[in-house]
Amino acid sequence: MPNFTAYGHPVLAVACPTCGTAPGFWCRRPSAHMASNLHAARRAEADRVFMEQHGPTAAIIHAASGWLIDPCGRARD
């Protein structure tokens, strides 16, 4: 089960459907150089899995101690 608080960016918790990068690693360009942004399909996949795990009202927030999951974050916004 992906852990959205384990990495420097929550989207890194899922593998990338576009470039095939494994969880925990930044997206790669076809040239194997690091991409400047994570692929859109990976961001969408992370969103989908996050909501499946934590529910449609959950949000992830960046606190001083790292990433935290707020179960009602989206409901308040």
Calculated CA dihedral for residues 47, 4, 76, 52, nearest 10 degrees: 50
Is 27 near Zn ion (CB under 5 A)? yes
Nearer to Zn ion, 31 or 65 (CB): 31
Give me the DSSP letters along 16-40.
-TTT-PPTTS--B-TTSSBPSS--H
Is 11 near Zn ion (CB under 5 A)? no
- Shortest distance, position 50 Cβ to Zn ion, whole Å: 17
Is 46 near Zn ion (CB under 5 A)? no
Chain residues binding Zn ion by CB under 5 A are 16, 18-19, 27, 39
